[in-house]
Structure 1
Amino acid sequence: MIEIIQEYWKSLLWTDGYRFTGVAITLWLLISSVVMGGILAVFLAIGRVSSNKFIQFPIWLFTYIFRGTPLYVQLLVFYSGMYTLEIVKGTELLNAFFPQRAKLHGSGVNPEYLRLYH
């Protein structure tokens, strides 16, 4: 294992010129999500202790919903439910995020059915 890491460590961490490797993308996503989550958490914490009910209630509701549902349910709602919204289908960038779902829904096949038997 150590020989493999010593031989291929550069190709695992760096780009080959036109695409990034999985490790590089994972590290980039990790760092960016921690930074964005930290910034969002500071503003949500400040809003949560605010005396203004119009600021405090939406933040309380957001926290209540996301703490009260399992992560798996949130992922299923995001994956299965987001593509049914017309704004997602009509926006080029969001539609590109769900390319397989677009093909499967266009053909009339339910993607969840395929996931069970694939």
Structure 2
Amino acid sequence: MAPKSKRGKAKGEKKKKDEKVLPVAIDITVNLPDQSLVILKGISTDRIIDVRRLLCVNTATCAITNYSLSHELRDGRLKDGADIATLKPCTLTLVEEEYDEESAVAHIRRLLDIVACTTSFGPPP
């Protein structure tokens, strides 16, 4: 007969309850290459990839497709997985990158999408 397994866990193995932190609204300031700035509304659980999506739908930045984001206190380019909550102050700088063939094709496709949307919803001819 096989030995019975213990029903309960040892004291050291008991899982502690994970404290759930509710997301908080954050203003994300993005400095653009033309010296203007855009203020985006995000939440504390957002990452850089989420900021990229917000910039993609913003009218001031939707045509910029090949860029990196940097922070004044961190060197170089921010990775897409970096948490926004760790960036204090939450001020990012948008740096336009050089286009290669693949990014140029993606840029043209994005511009065609924008033109298609504006002509579809524009006034009738």
Q: TM-score range by the shorter chain?
A: under 0.3
Greater relative contact order (CA < 8 Å, ≥ 6 in sequence) = 2
TM (normalized to structure 2)? Answer: 0.21
TM (normalized to structure 1)? Answer: 0.22
| Bigger Rg over Cα | 2
Give the strand-richer structure, 1 or 2.
2
Give the helix-richer structure, 1 or 2.
1
